[in-house]
Structures are given as C-alpha cells and as structure tokens.
C-alpha cells in the first residue's frame, strides 16, 4: 500500500488572520444580540410554554397542559380565524396592488421621483401616526370616508366599532401602509429586466400585453415569491393596527393572533399559555412558508437556471 | 380610568404604545440603578413602629406626567423635610403600558419600592404575591377607617388583607354646561331629577344643525358609567360574591336599553364610536350634559363656558341614586428591601399632610379634608359638595376581583355592539356573561388544583 499524504492545511497569512479577526469583531454585536436577545428568549419561551408562568411568580412545570388548553379555547380559534381571513385577503391584494403601482412607477413620466415618494411615504409613517390618521379617516361622523359616501346618499357604517366592518377597516388600512415596501422591491426587479427580451417580443410581433405576460411576469416571479413570503409572514404577525385602533373588539371581531398572545402574556398573567400560543404561531408560519417554497417550484423562474 | 391609572380600555390611549415602549426601555435601565438597599428585609412589621436607621433611598414610581410637578412640590418636598433620612427617587413612567413594565421589572427583581396603584391590576397582582399586605402596618400605626370617608378595602382589599393605601378618590360626575341651558331656556336640574328629566333635557339641548348634543358619556360601558344606571335600576354587573355575571338580569338589561335608547331612539347622544379620536365635545361647548370623571374638572375649568356639577339623576321607578366611584392608591412591592421606610412614605401619603398635598389633584379621602372650606374653595365657583354628597351617600365601588384585569376587558368588548347597533341588549349581555363566567370558571378550577 502506498501511503497517500494528506493535503497539508495551508496556514493563514498574518494578514488573512487579521482580516478574519476584524470580520468577527464587526459581526460580534449582531452575534451577541442574536444570542442574548433572540435565541435566549426563543429557547426560554419554549420552556415557558410547558409551565404555568404568571410573570410575577416563578414558573411551575405543567407539561403539555397549555397546548391541550388551546384546543378548547374559543378565543384561540377566533384569533386564528381573524388572522387567517386577514392574511388570505391582504396578501394577494397587497401583492397585486404594489405590483400595479410598481408598473406605473416604472414608466417614464414627469415628476416620477415625487410619485415614487408619495407611494412609499406611508411606509415611513410610524404605526401610531397611521392609526391616528385612520381613526380620523374612518370616523363615522366626521371622517373622510363617510363624508364621501354621504355625497352619494349612502350612510356609511361605524367602521371600527362595527362587528361587520371592523376587520374590513383594518384590511383597508393595511393596503394603504403595506404597498410601499413591496412596490420598491418590484421596481428594482422591473428595472433589472433586460430590454433585449422586450425587443425580442417586438420582433415576434408581440404587443404590450404579450410583453407583460411573457416577459415581465415570468422575470418577476422571484420577486413576487419574495414579496409573497414576506407579506404572508407580516400578515400573520400583525399587531399594532388592531392594538391601537380596536383592541381586538368589538366582540372579538378583530382579535388577531398576536394581540391575543400579548393579552395573555401581559394583561392576564398567563405568560406560559402565551408562550404556547407563540410556538403554535411559529409552527403555522413555518408550515405555510415551507408550503409556499414547495409551491414556488411550480411557478418561479430563475434566470440562468433550468425551470425547476 | 383614573388619571394615575392605566386601565383605559379606550382607543385614545393606545396611541401611547410607542412612547410607552420607549419609556419602558429607559425605565428598565433606570430602575436597574434606581433602588438602593440599606435596610434589612422583614416579612411584616414589628409590634412597635420601627425607626429607619441610616439614609435610605427609595425608588418611587408615578404614572402621570401631568401632576408630577404639583406632587413633587406639595407632597415630596414636605415629606423630605419631615423625613430627611428617607430620600425619594421619584420617577415618572407615563403611558398605557405602565403595569406591563412594572410587572416585568418586578419579575426581573428591579422594580421600585413604592408605586402608584391602579384598581385594574393591584388586586390581581397582589393575589399573585406582587404587593405587600399593609394592613398589619395600618393596624400597628393607627390608620383607622373611621377617619376616612372612602373604604380602605373597596379596591385594595383581598382575602382580609389591604394591598394599597388610598391616594385619592374619584369617579363619575354629572357636568352641566350652564350656558347651553340658558340658551335653551332650561333651569338647572333639581337634586331629585330623574332619567325621564334627563331625556327631556337631552331633547331640548340637542340641535343637529349646530352639531350640538344633549348628553354624552366619556366611557359608557361597565365597569364605567353605565354601571351606575344599572345599579340605580336594581341591577348589578356581578353578584355579591363576585363570581357570576349578572348583566342578563331584566334590571341590568333595561338600564342598558335606556342608554342605547339615548342614541338610537331619542337621538340625544352621539354614538360613542363617533367620538373616537375626537376632542371631548363637552370641552368644546357642544354638549349640554356629560357623565364624565372627576379628573376632567381641570380641563373643563379651562374651557371658558359656565358650568357646574349636578346630582346623578334618579331612576324614576326605584328612586335610587348610584354613582360609580373608585380610587387610586400607593402600593409597596414585595421585592422591596426597605419595607419600613416604604411604609413611612405610604403612611405620610395617606395621612393629613399627604392628603392635603394632593387636594388640588383629586378628592382627598380624609373626612376632615373633604368637608373643609379649603377644599371647597379650590373648586369654587362650582359646587363640589354636590358630587361629594353623591359619592359619600350613593357611591358604588368597582367590581375588583383577582381576575378583574381579564373580565373587565371582556365586558367592555362584548357590550360595545349595543352602542354601535350591531347587537340587541339581550344578545350582547348574553355574550358578555358567557365570556365573563368562563373567566370565573377558570379561576374556580385553578383554585381547586
């Protein structure tokens, strides 16, 4: 037998070592932050989900009782229903609207910078200011929406106070604030599409629709996919709007899942139960994300790769 | 609902979320270095009042920025002169989420020694060991109920203990805009006016062309102002054992129907949802009668129109009067290492000097002070004796239980569809009692474990 010498590991040069060291120093704050403020609480919450933890008393281990309790808790199902409706309605609406706006913002029109800013600004408005603004817009007596409806002889509803309209009001609000960010990402994607592809369609006699159908949409599918995942996760975790505007009411009509977690954790002294709720949400989000990823292989096209 | 309180299920206060979040972060940092400990911890008081040895610094939390300046000047400075060995490190933690921050600080062992206490969360937290039972201290040092017009245990008592001392009392007041009354040619309501008279006043004061309303409530659902109407009509929110919702009783339902009728039938009151995000219309002189809180007096005083307090109208059938009242308090956290020093501060605050100091901020709870000319003079030309008389003769406390923080929110949430017209009174009260009784059932099952 001939002994095959193992390849000798090349020693790092002093300069490479220093650069690696500098790299670690640069990422250290994020690593420490991740371990101390994210990973630590995540692990702790997993343990707490198996305890009766009332915040002001030490936790006591109760096994899977919190998870068992979930199934018999009507408010758990109600919060799940509200969040599901919101996600199913807002996610496609936000995706389509922001795509449409991005297409408009990709045209060569005057004052383009101003239009782009106008559409993006709602994203920069703090949640508290957005909530106040919509409180005014949806005020049944003096609000903009009902005032406009009155011009057409329609008596508008009590929006945020109505069991029928409160969730719809929050959906409407989400469209105003949720279009800017995906629009910007779409816009970047649109500008990355090679003009040669459009010219090829023109050579084949295709018009505007053909360009959109056969070039723009397929080339944008990775961006659509990214926005779909981000918007879906964001919708499942929505909190500030319902917390500030409706508090989950009226009659639990806007009891979103994360709001219910918050109530249990910080208002009802049920941190253990809230932790179990949080882990169930994590599993739901993980499951849905995996499903969307699997589904994406059927319609997402990555340029330079074979269609999967 | 009270100015130092943090319950406020109203939507307006949710605006403070971000500010509160920021304040919470700063609070955690400050609290970590706020408290000092130079005394040994004791589980209860000794038989004789203990003297504080050495200098002690106490972390002392308030929730209201508005009255901190007055409080520091009229109370803290006086206390420091009397007790130079006990330094008060007064910290203000404004915002809706005061208790969220307080409980997390407590859990982290970094809470204050003494905090302002709110009815919503004090007994629920005390029942879980967060606050010290101060009854033994009160008994030892001769703080006796007979000197006070407001019951010690109404909002702060649980299983024979008392978990906060009274700061001040407050509650529901009937405010009348006398200028609007004059314009409508109406006399000031008589002390024995009834709900029927209230509707009549409402009709005559309502003028849709001027966007003027007869009546408004600043918080309509129980445990706030509608509870008074329910109680006058012979109903209640909970049974006397405080373990069953009684809003489905005919008396409670009839009283709630009367209030709904003010909006939908008599059209003398704006829908509460129309008031969201708006300035209180009573302050802008657009409402004749307001069922509001005692703490709104300062703002009304600055509004520029002529006004006064009226008695709560009587139920025409039962001839009963009831007003919803409540209080704020001072509580000692069980993590304090300075129990005797903390008690010294609390004793001062509930005593004559402390009560005199807060006299401009709320209703003092000492009998001598609330009846004093000095107190009446603060409120002139309005007649503070009217609400004081209602409070002392017909006051009804809040329904405080160890799970009040949970079921109060359900009552507000489930009853609100009555006032938006989405549900009938029987539908809404049924849903409310189902939700509330479920909380009580859970309490019983937990206690049984």
Asked if residues B288 and B200 have their Cβ atoms less than 8 Å apart, the reply is: no
User: What CATH code is carried by the domain that includes residue A252?
Assistant: 1.10.3720.10
Closest partner residue to B273 (CB to CB) among A128, A161, A263 is A161
Measured torsion, CA atoms of residues A70, A75, A77, A80, in degrees rounded to the nearest 10: -110
- Answer whether B15 sits within 8 Å of A56, measured CB to CB: no
Asked if residues B93 and B101 have their Cβ atoms less than 8 Å apart, the reply is: yes
Least confident of A14-28, A82-96, B94-108, B389-403: B94-108
Residue extents of the structural domains in chain B: 12-169+326-381
Please state, in angstroms and rounded to a whole number, the distance separating the CA atoms of residues B283 and B297. Answer: 10
**Could you tell me which of B96, B162, B31 has the C-alpha nearest to residue A266?**
B96
- Answer whether B273 sits within 8 Å of A54, measured CB to CB: no
* pLDDT at position A305 over 80: no
The predicted structure's pLDDT at residue B164 = 96
The predicted structure's pLDDT at residue B366 = 94
CB count within 10 Å of CB A152 equals 7
Closest partner residue to A247 (CB to CB) among B11, B103, B421 is B11
A308: confidence class by pLDDT, cuts 50, 70, 90: very low
| One domain for residues A191 and A53 | no
Least confident of A70-84, B22-36, B203-217: B22-36
Selected residue of A127, A150, A267 to mutate for chain B interface (largest B Cβ count, 10 A): A267
- Closest chain A residue to B431, measured at CA: A251
Q: Annotate chain B with three-state secondary structure.
A: CCCCCCCCCCCHHHHHHHHHHHHHHHHHHHHHHHCCCCCCCCCCCCCCCCCCCCCEEEEEEECCCCCHHHHHHHHHHHHHHHCCCEEEEEEECCCCCHHHHHHHHHHCCCCCCEEEECCCCHHHHHCCCCECCCHHHHHHHCCCHHHECCCCHHHHEECCEECCEEEEEEEEEEEEEHHHHHHCCCCCCCCCCEHHHHHHHHHHHCEHHHCEEEEEECCCCCCCCHHHHHHHCCCCCECCCCCCECCCCHHHHHHHHHHHHHHHCCCCCCCHHHHCCCCCCCCCCCEEEEEEEHHHHHHHHCCCCCEEEECCCECCCCCCCCEEEEEEEEEEECCCCCHHHHHHHHHHHHCHHHHHHCCCCCECCEHHHHCCHHHHHHHCCCCCHHHHHHHHHHEECCCCCCCHHHHHHHHHHHHHHHHHCCCCHHHHHHHHHHHHHHHHHHHHHHHHC
Q: Is residue A308 part of a domain?
A: no
Mean pLDDT to the nearest integer, B239-258: 95
Backbone angles phi, psi at B211, to 5 degrees: 55, 45
Cis preceding linkage at B40, omega within 30:
no
Give pLDDT tens digits for A110-146: 888 898 888 888 888 888 899 989 998 998 888 899 9
- Answer whether B106 sits within 8 Å of A56, measured CB to CB: yes
| One domain for residues A134 and A220 | yes
Give pLDDT tens digits for B15-73: 333 333 333 333 333 333 333 333 333 456 766 656 666 789 999 998 888 788 888 88
- Closest chain A residue to B15, measured at CA: A128
- H-assigned helices in A106-179: 112-124, 127-137, 144-151, 166-178
Which is more confidently placed, B220 or B240? B240
Please state, in angstroms and rounded to a whole number, the distance separating the CA atoms of residues A42 and B61. Answer: 31
**Could you tell me which of B222, B270, B175 has the C-alpha nearest to residue B7?**
B222
The predicted structure's pLDDT at residue A127 = 86
| One domain for residues A266 and A217 | yes
The predicted structure's pLDDT at residue B3 = 45
**Could you tell me which of B46, B279, B344 has the C-alpha nearest to residue A142?**
B279
Largest CA distance in chain B: 69
- Answer whether B420 sits within 8 Å of A127, measured CB to CB: no
B7: confidence class by pLDDT, cuts 50, 70, 90: very low
Closest partner residue to B15 (CB to CB) among A128, A139, A252 is A128
The predicted structure's pLDDT at residue B6 = 36
State the helix-helix crossing angle for A166-178 and A74-105, rounded to 10 degrees.
Answer: 40
Which is more confidently placed, A73 or A2? A73
Residue A63: burial class (beta carbons within 10 Å; 0-12, 13-18, 19+) = exposed
Q: Average per-residue pLDDT in chain A?
A: 91
Q: Is residue A6 part of a domain?
A: no
Mean pLDDT to the nearest integer, A76-90: 97
- Closest chain A residue to B416, measured at CA: A250
| Domain range for A54 | 20-61
* pLDDT at position B186 over 70: yes
Please state, in angstroms and rounded to a whole number, the distance separating the CA atoms of residues A112 and A108. Answer: 7
Coil, strand or helix: which one is A52?
Answer: strand
Whether the CA torsion B99, B100, B102, B103 is positive or negative: it is positive
The predicted structure's pLDDT at residue A46 = 96
B273: confidence class by pLDDT, cuts 50, 70, 90: confident
Q: Is residue A146 part of a domain?
A: yes
Please state, in angstroms and rounded to a whole number, the distance separating the CA atoms of residues A106 and A191. Answer: 7
- Answer whether A251 sits within 8 Å of B409, measured CB to CB: no
Give pLDDT tens digits for B157-177: 999 999 999 999 988 999 999
Measured torsion, CA atoms of residues A124, A128, A134, A135, in degrees rounded to the nearest 10: -170
Q: Is residue A4 part of a domain?
A: no
- Answer whether A128 sits within 8 Å of B17, measured CB to CB: yes
Which is more confidently placed, A1 or B436? B436
The predicted structure's pLDDT at residue A7 = 57
Backbone angles phi, psi at B304, to 5 degrees: 95, -5
The predicted structure's pLDDT at residue B194 = 97
Mean pLDDT to the nearest integer, A255-267: 95
Q: Which residue's structure tokens are 């109203």?
A: B10
| One domain for residues A140 and A242 | yes
| One domain for residues A258 and A220 | yes
* pLDDT at position A307 over 60: no
Whether the CA torsion B102, B108, B112, B113 is positive or negative: it is positive
Q: Which residue's structure tokens are 């009587």?
A: B314
Name A49's Cβ contacts closer than 8 Å, sequence gap at least 6: A66, A67, A272, A275, A276, A278, A279
B10: confidence class by pLDDT, cuts 50, 70, 90: very low
Asked if residues B322 and B396 have their Cβ atoms less than 8 Å apart, the reply is: yes
| One domain for residues A80 and A125 | yes
Mean pLDDT to the nearest integer, A248-268: 94
Q: Is residue A226 part of a domain?
A: yes
Name B1's Cβ contacts closer than 8 Å, sequence gap at least 6: B7, B8, B219, B224, B293, B326
Q: Which residue's structure tokens are 């509707």?
A: B199
| One domain for residues A227 and A134 | yes
The predicted structure's pLDDT at residue A8 = 60
Residue A56: burial class (beta carbons within 10 Å; 0-12, 13-18, 19+) = buried
Contacts of B130 in chain A (CB under 8 A): 56
Burial track B261-282 (b if 16+ CB lie within 10 A, e otherwise): ebbeebebbbbbbbbbbeebbb
Asked if residues A164 and A157 have their Cβ atoms less than 8 Å apart, the reply is: yes
Least confident of A187-201, B15-29, B323-337: B15-29
Backbone angles phi, psi at B89, to 5 degrees: -95, 90
| One domain for residues A144 and A36 | no
The predicted structure's pLDDT at residue B362 = 86
| One domain for residues A47 and A152 | no
Split into its structural domains, chain A has a count of 2
* pLDDT at position A30 over 80: yes
Mean pLDDT to the nearest integer, B217-231: 86
The predicted structure's pLDDT at residue B23 = 34
| One domain for residues A170 and A224 | yes
Tokens of B138: 């009160």
Q: Is residue A241 part of a domain?
A: yes
Q: What is the ipTM metric for this complex?
A: 0.82
| One domain for residues A56 and A117 | no
Contacts of B270 in chain A (CB under 8 A): 141
Superfamily of domain B12-169+326-381: Periplasmic binding protein-like II (3.40.190.10)
**Could you tell me which of A240, A254, A250 has the C-alpha nearest to residue B409?**
A250
Q: How far A276 CA lies from chain B's nearest CA (Å)? A: 18
* pLDDT at position A300 over 60: yes
Asked if residues B382 and B309 have their Cβ atoms less than 8 Å apart, the reply is: yes
* pLDDT at position A1 over 50: no
Q: Is residue A24 part of a domain?
A: yes
Strand duo B287-293 + B165-177: pairing: antiparallel
H or E element: which one contains A51?
A: strand A51-52
Strand duo B56-62 + B114-117: pairing: parallel
- Closest chain B residue to A56, measured at CA: B107
The predicted structure's pLDDT at residue B26 = 31
- Answer whether A162 sits within 8 Å of B419, measured CB to CB: no
Give pLDDT tens digits for B359-387: 888 899 999 999 999 999 999 999 999 99
- Closest chain B residue to A131, measured at CA: B15
| One domain for residues A82 and A52 | no
Mean pLDDT to the nearest integer, B144-163: 93
- Answer whether A135 sits within 8 Å of B103, measured CB to CB: no
Measured torsion, CA atoms of residues A270, B8, B277, A119, in degrees rounded to the nearest 10: -20
B275: confidence class by pLDDT, cuts 50, 70, 90: confident
- Closest chain A residue to B406, measured at CA: A268
Least confident of A9-23, A150-164, A260-274, B229-243: A9-23
């Amino acid at each position: 037998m001939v002994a095959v010498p193992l390849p000798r590991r090349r020693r790092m040069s002093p300069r490479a070592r220093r650069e690696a060291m500098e790299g670690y120093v640069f990422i250290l704050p994020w690593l420490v932050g991740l371990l101390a403020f994210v990973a630590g609480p995540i692990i702790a919450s997993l343990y707490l989900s198996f305890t009766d933890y009332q915040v002001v008393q030490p936790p006591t281990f109760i096994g899977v009782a919190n998870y068992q309790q979930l199934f018999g808790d009507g408010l758990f199902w109600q919060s799940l229903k509200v969040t599901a409706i919101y996600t199913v309605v807002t996610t496609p609406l936000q995706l389509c609207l922001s795509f449409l706006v991005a297409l408009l913002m990709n045209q060569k029109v005057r004052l383009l910078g101003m239009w782009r800013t106008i559409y993006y600004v709602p994203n920069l408005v703090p949640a508290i200011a957005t909530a106040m603004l919509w409180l005014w817009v949806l005020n049944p007596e003096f609000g903009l929406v009902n005032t406009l409806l009155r011009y057409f002889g329609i008596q508008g509803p009590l929006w945020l106070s109505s069991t029928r309209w409160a969730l719809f009001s929050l959906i409407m609000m989400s469209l105003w604030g949720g279009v800017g960010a995906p629009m910007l990402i779409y816009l970047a994607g649109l500008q990355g599409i090679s003009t040669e592809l459009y010219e090829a369609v023109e050579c084949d006699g295709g018009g505007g629709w053909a360009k959109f159908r056969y070039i723009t949409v397929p080339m944008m599918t990775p961006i659509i996919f990214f926005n779909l995942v981000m918007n879906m996760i964001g919708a499942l975790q929505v909190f500030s709007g319902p917390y500030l505007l409706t508090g989950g009411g009226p009659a639990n009509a806007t009891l979103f899942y994360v709001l219910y977690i918050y109530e249990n954790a910080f208002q009802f002294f049920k941190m253990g139960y809230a932790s179990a709720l949080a882990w169930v949400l994590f599993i739901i989000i993980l499951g849905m994300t995996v499903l969307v990823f699997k589904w994406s292989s059927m319609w997402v096209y990555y340029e330079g790769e074979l269609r999967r | 609902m009270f100015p130092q309180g943090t319950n406020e299920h109203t939507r307006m206060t949710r605006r403070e979320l971000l500010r509160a979040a920021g304040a919470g972060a700063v609070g955690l940092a400050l609290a970590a270095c706020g408290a000092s400990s130079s005394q040994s911890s004791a589980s209860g008081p000794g038989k004789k009042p203990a003297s504080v040895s050495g200098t002690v610094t106490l972390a002392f939390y308030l929730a209201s920025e508005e009255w901190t300046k007055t409080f520091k000047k009229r109370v803290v400075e006086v206390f420091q002169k009397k007790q130079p060995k006990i330094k008060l490190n007064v910290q203000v933690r404004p915002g809706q989420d005061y208790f969220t921050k307080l409980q997390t600080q407590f859990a982290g062992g970094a809470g204050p020694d003494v905090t302002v206490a709110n009815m919503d969360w004090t007994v629920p937290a005390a029942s879980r060991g967060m606050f010290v039972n101060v009854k033994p201290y009160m008994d030892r040092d001769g703080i006796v109920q007979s000197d006070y017009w407001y019951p010690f245990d109404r909002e702060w008592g649980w299983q024979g203990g008392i978990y906060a001392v009274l700061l001040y009392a407050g509650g529901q007041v009937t405010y009348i805009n006398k200028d609007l009354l004059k314009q409508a040619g109406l006399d000031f309501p008589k002390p024995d006016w009834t709900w029927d008279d209230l509707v009549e006043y409402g009709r005559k004061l309502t003028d849709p062309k001027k966007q003027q309303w007869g009546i408004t409530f600043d918080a309509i659902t129980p445990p706030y102002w509608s509870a008074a109407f329910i109680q006058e009509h012979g109903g209640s929110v909970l049974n006397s054992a405080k373990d069953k919702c009684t809003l489905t009783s005919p008396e409670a339902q009839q009283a709630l129907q009367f209030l709904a009728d003010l909006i939908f039938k008599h059209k003398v009151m704006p829908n509460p949802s129309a008031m969201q995000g708006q300035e209180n219309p009573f302050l802008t002189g657009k409402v004749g009668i307001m069922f509001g809180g005692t703490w709104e007096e300062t703002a009304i005083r600055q509004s520029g129109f002529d006004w006064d307090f009226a008695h709560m109208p009587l139920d025409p059938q039962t001839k009963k009067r009831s007003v919803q009242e409540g209080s704020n308090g001072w509580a000692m956290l069980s993590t304090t290492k300075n129990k005797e020093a903390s008690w010294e501060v609390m004793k001062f605050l509930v005593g004559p000097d402390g009560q005199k100091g807060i006299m401009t901020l709320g209703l003092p709870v000492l009998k001598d002070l609330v009846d004093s000319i000095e107190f009446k003079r603060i409120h002139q030309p309005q007649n503070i004796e009217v609400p004081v008389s209602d409070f002392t003769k017909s006051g009804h406390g809040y329904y405080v239980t160890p799970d009040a923080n949970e079921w109060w929110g359900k009552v507000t949430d489930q009853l609100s569809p009555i006032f938006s017209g989405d549900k009938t009174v029987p539908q809404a009260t049924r849903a409310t009692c189902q939700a509330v009784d479920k909380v009580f059932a859970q309490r019983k099952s937990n206690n049984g474990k």
